[in-house]
């Protein structure tokens, strides 16, 4: 009896152990399964996160590339606009304008020291003439304007000097520039006093009109300017009116102080002697 009880107890103990072991294994497996599921889910989440990050970076890279491309495109457009603007400017310039622009650059690069001295002085005179003509007392300026033009003619045709420099000592580029400035000064005065050259003297009207014509031709083409073209009659008319002309040059002295002249400092006989020597050389 007792042996049967012990036998049954062992059997029951073994069954209980098996049951306990089975429960433990089941719990362990469930725990592992849940942990695996959690790890799997976490892995999915992490993978999704990394995928989103990668896609986001890729999208940002595309956006940056797009912005760079847009920036490059905008720069290209700006460059094209600048090019178009330059092209339009050049296409709108006539051949004559292009020639003048190139010629002006060439002239600026070929001026001598003497050229710059005279150009500077006559530019200053032009500025003063402009200022006088714009002032309220312009009517008082007429005699001074006559003196300025008389001194310019003396410089071009009678070996007058500007700060010790004669017209013949200038380069062709310098001569042309000075003739251009003188022509501009004459034009400014004519706008306010149309007949001022004829009013200088009853003897010199034609002479100064001829001088003005030659100055204008020289401004357009320096090779068309020549002292001899003034003509002997006009040369003598201006010399004969010497004493009358000095009145105007004195009036303009504050403006033309850098000018000096044989015509005004010599007697008429000496000026005529100078002219004969000039004519024969």
Q: Is residue 155 part of a domain?
A: yes
Sign of CA dihedral 197, 114, 117, 104: positive
Whether residue 66 is found in the same domain as residue 138? no
Task: Examine the fold and report which residue of 92, 122, 143 is the final residue of a domain before the chain moves on.
Answer: 92
Q: What is the pLDDT of residues 45-65, one digit of tens each?
A: 444 444 444 444 444 444 445
In this structure, is residue 117 part of a structural domain?
A: yes
Same domain assignment for residues 240 and 176: yes
Task: Tell me, yes or no, whether 129 and 268 share the same domain.
Answer: yes
Task: Please indicate, yes or no, whether residues 186 and 254 belong to a single structural domain of this protein.
Answer: yes
Give domain status of residue 107, yes or no: no
Instruction: Look at residue 98 and tell me if it is in a domain.
Output: no
Q: Are 261 and 151 in contact (CB under 8 A)?
A: yes
The rounded distance, in Å, linking the Cα atoms of 97 and 110 is 20
Note whether 122 and 220 are same-domain residues.
yes
Q: Nearest Cα to 170, choosing from 222, 128, 215?
A: 222
Cβ atoms of 256 and 125 closer than 8 Å: yes
Find where tokens 């000592």 sit: 169
Based on the fold, state whether residues 27 and 76 are members of the same structural domain.
yes
From 92, 120, 137, the end of a domain falls on: 92
Domain extent for 255? 112-280
- What φ, ψ does residue 92 adopt, rounded to 5°? -80, -20
Q: In a 3-state reduction of DSSP, which class is residue 162? A: strand
Give the number of domains in the chain: 2
Residue of 134 and 66 predicted with greater confidence:
134
Q: Output the pTM of the full model.
A: 0.61
pLDDT of residue 264: 62
Residues 112-131 have pLDDT tens digits of: 999 999 999 999 999 999 99
> Are 61 and 175 in the same domain?
no
Report pLDDT digits (tens) over 227-271. 999 998 999 899 889 888 989 999 999 999 899 886 666 666 666
103 located within any domain: no
CA distance 129 to 192: 11
- 154 within a domain of the structure (yes/no): yes
Q: Please tell me the predicted confidence (pLDDT) of residue 179.
A: 98
Query: Does a structural domain hold residue 262?
Result: yes
């Amino acid at each position: 009896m007792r042996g049967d009880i012990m036998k049954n107890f062992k059997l029951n103990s073994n069954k209980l152990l098996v049951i306990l072991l089975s429960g433990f294994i089941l719990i362990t497996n469930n725990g592992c399964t849940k942990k695996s599921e959690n790890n799997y889910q976490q892995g999915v989440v992490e993978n999704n996160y990394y995928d989103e990050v990668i896609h986001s970076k890729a999208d940002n890279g595309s956006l940056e590339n797009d912005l760079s491309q847009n920036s490059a495109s905008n720069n290209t457009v700006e460059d094209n606009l600048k090019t178009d603007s330059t092209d339009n400017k050049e296409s709108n310039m006539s051949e004559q304008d292009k020639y003048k622009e190139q010629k002006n650059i060439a002239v600026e690069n070929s001026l001598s020291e003497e050229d710059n001295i005279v150009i500077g002085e006559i530019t200053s005179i032009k500025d003063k003439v402009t200022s006088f003509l714009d002032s309220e007392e312009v009517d008082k300026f007429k005699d001074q304007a006559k003196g300025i033009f008389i001194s310019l003619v003396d410089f071009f045709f009678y070996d007058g000097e500007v700060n010790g420099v004669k017209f013949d000592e200038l380069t062709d580029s310098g001569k042309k520039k000075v003739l251009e400035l003188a022509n501009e000064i004459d034009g400014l005065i004519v706008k306010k006093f149309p007949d001022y050259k004829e009013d200088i003297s009853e003897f010199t009207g034609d002479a100064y009109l001829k001088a003005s014509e030659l100055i204008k031709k020289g401004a357009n083409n320096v090779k068309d300017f020549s002292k001899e073209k003034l003509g002997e009659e006009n040369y003598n008319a201006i010399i004969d009116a010497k004493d009358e002309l000095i009145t105007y040059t004195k009036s303009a002295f504050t403006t033309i102080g850098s000018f000096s002249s044989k015509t005004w400092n010599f007697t008429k006989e000496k000026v005529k002697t100078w002219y004969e020597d000039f004519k024969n050389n």
